[in-house]
């Protein structure tokens, strides 16, 4: 049986995770700093039999998030990670032959969801210095796309739009009848929010990538529309309980932030020694812009041979000389830095 015609050309990256356990995984922006033994045991101790056997009650987490965001609980919707929030927003509002406006490059699932729902992509390219031409983006909004999606910070660029520029884009989207999604997956590494219609995840600072927990913040009328495509009890009880624990214990995220910033400083110092750029990136990853005589793909392959996975192979001019490294504490990044020195000594064009 053939799929719907607009699905035929979609190519998805594999989610086969077999064998990854033998590597230090610095390629997917997961939280690499471990929970302490005491933290982990405290998390598990909050689970009860009903966490597994009963359909989940999301209200405890919704109430906590409402207090944290400073908005009523009916502005918040839980999802299976922020990715599911984006998918549901597209499913609710994007129609066949609509246009979706994106920055380029950006989160890979935006163009996939655009194609999945039969729409077409319009792109505004990042400059080679990884800044976005906001005026051009606003001008494209005058062509009345159905949705504009922006990640802030973005990835793989690490680019950040100042809040006043985001406000310009949101105002232009409102003027021209477009839904504007601001993806804040890396909040609070960049502790500035455009809360109004944003998506967030517990996968980064929260360290709960395996539980697939996220949420979006939107005006209640938008939330009620998106709720029509919600699966039954799609956020599980264990995820909700662990989300409550993380919100109740901000010191866990604060410790993680300190460790990652120490790791970032270490990596930036190594980059300077190697003659690489380390552009600002208020996220849990760091771009390294390699010298012209060092081949990024050779670096990725050589590091894999030494037991480290990082991300490379970018084709956009703003990041084609770059590799992306998930941040961790110095205990992980110090040996990684030595491996990087070793492979860069021999990874020439």
Do residues 124 and 229 both lie within one domain?
Answer: yes
Q: Are 253 and 35 in contact (CB under 8 A)?
A: no
Taking the CB of residue 215, how many other CB atoms lie within 10 A of it? 25
Q: Note whether residue 41 is domain-resident.
A: no
The pLDDT score that the predictor gives to residue 134 is 96
Range of the domain at 214: 47-249
Do residues 273 and 322 both lie within one domain?
Answer: yes
The position carrying tokens 């299976």 is 80
Which two tokens mark 22?
């033998």
Q: Which long-range contacts (CB under 8 A, 24 or more apart) does 271-274 make?
A: 273/341, 274/340, 274/341, 274/344
The position carrying tokens 């809040």 is 163
Q: Note whether residue 136 is domain-resident.
A: yes
Between the alpha carbon of residue 137 and those of residues 70, 124, 242, 335, the distances in Å are 30, 6, 38, 42
Work out how many domains the chain is built from and give that number. 2
305 CB burial (10 A radius; 0-12, 13-18, 19+): exposed
What is the spatial distance between Cα 115 and Cα 4, in angstroms, rounded to a whole number? 11
Residue 310: give its domain's CATH number: 3.90.1150.10
The position carrying tokens 């009880």 is 237
Do residues 291 and 208 both lie within one domain?
Answer: no
Q: State pTM to two decimals.
A: 0.94
Instruction: Give me the residues of the chain with pLDDT under 70, please.
Output: 195-196, 347-349
Residue 210: give its domain's CATH number: 3.40.640.10
The position carrying tokens 């406000």 is 167
Q: Are 218 and 75 in contact (CB under 8 A)?
A: yes
Cis peptide before 105 (omega within 30 of 0): yes
Which two tokens mark 12?
């998805």
Q: Note whether residue 192 is domain-resident.
A: yes
Residue 100: closest CA among 140, 129, 71: 140
Q: Which residues pair with 287 in a beta bridge?
A: 324
Do residues 140 and 177 both lie within one domain?
Answer: yes
The pLDDT score that the predictor gives to residue 349 is 44
Do residues 267 and 122 both lie within one domain?
Answer: no
Do residues 83 and 132 both lie within one domain?
Answer: yes
The pLDDT score that the predictor gives to residue 1 is 80
What is the spatial distance between Cα 74 and Cα 89, in angstroms, rounded to a whole number? 16
Q: Note whether residue 19 is domain-resident.
A: yes
148 CB burial (10 A radius; 0-12, 13-18, 19+): buried
The pLDDT score that the predictor gives to residue 182 is 95
What is the spatial distance between Cα 170 and Cα 183, in angstroms, rounded to a whole number? 13
Q: Are 260 and 130 in contact (CB under 8 A)?
A: no
Q: Note whether residue 83 is domain-resident.
A: yes
What is the spatial distance between Cα 239 and Cα 244, in angstroms, rounded to a whole number? 9
Do residues 325 and 293 both lie within one domain?
Answer: yes
DSSP state of 52: H
Do residues 244 and 268 both lie within one domain?
Answer: no
Q: Note whether residue 158 is domain-resident.
A: yes
The pLDDT score that the predictor gives to residue 347 is 60
The pLDDT score that the predictor gives to residue 348 is 55
Cis peptide before 153 (omega within 30 of 0): yes
Q: Note whether residue 108 is domain-resident.
A: yes
Do residues 72 and 220 both lie within one domain?
Answer: yes
Do residues 211 and 270 both lie within one domain?
Answer: no
Q: Note whether residue 240 is domain-resident.
A: yes
Do residues 19 and 103 both lie within one domain?
Answer: no
Do residues 320 and 234 both lie within one domain?
Answer: no
Q: Is the dihedral of CA 329, 331, 332, 335 positive or negative?
A: positive
């Amino acid at each position: 049986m053939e799929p719907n015609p607009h699905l035929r050309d979609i190519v998805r990256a594999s989610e086969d995770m077999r064998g990854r356990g033998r590597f230090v995984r610095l390629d997917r922006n997961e939280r690499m700093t471990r929970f302490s033994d005491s933290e982990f045991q405290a998390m598990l101790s909050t689970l009860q039999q009903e966490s597994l056997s009963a359909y989940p009650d999301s209200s405890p987490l919704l109430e906590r998030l409402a207090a944290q965001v400073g908005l009523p609980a009916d502005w918040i919707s839980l999802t299976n990670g922020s990715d599911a929030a984006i998918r549901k927003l597209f499913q609710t509002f994007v129609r066949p032959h609509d246009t979706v406006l994106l920055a380029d490059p950006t989160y890979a699932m935006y163009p996939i969801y655009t194609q999945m729902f039969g729409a077409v992509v319009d792109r505004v390219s990042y400059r080679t210095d990884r800044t976005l031409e906001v005026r051009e983006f606003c001008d494209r909004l005058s062509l009345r796309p159905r949705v504009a999606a922006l990640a802030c910070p973005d990835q793989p660029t690490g680019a950040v739009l100042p809040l006043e520029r985001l406000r310009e884009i949101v105002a232009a989207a409102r003027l021209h009848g477009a839904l504007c999604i601001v993806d804040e997956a890396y909040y609070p590494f960049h502790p500035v929010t455009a809360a109004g219609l944003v998506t967030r995840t517990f996968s980064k600072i929260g360290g709960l990538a395996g539980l697939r927990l996220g949420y979006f913040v939107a005006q209640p009328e938008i939330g009620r529309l998106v709720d029509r495509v919600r699966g039954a009890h799609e956020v599980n009880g264990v995820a909700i309980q662990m989300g409550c624990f993380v919100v109740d214990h901000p010191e866990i995220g604060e410790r993680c932030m300190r460790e990652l910033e120490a790791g970032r400083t270490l990596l930036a110092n190594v980059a300077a020694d190697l003659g690489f750029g380390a552009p600002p990136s208020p996220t849990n990853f760091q771009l390294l812009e390699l010298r012209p005589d060092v081949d990024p793909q050779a670096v990725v392959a050589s590091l894999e041979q030494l037991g480290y996975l990082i991300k490379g192979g970018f084709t956009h001019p703003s990041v084609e000389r770059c590799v992306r490294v998930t941040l961790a504490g110095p205990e992980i990044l110090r040996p990684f830095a030595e491996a990087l020195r070793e492979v860069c000594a021999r990874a020439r064009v």
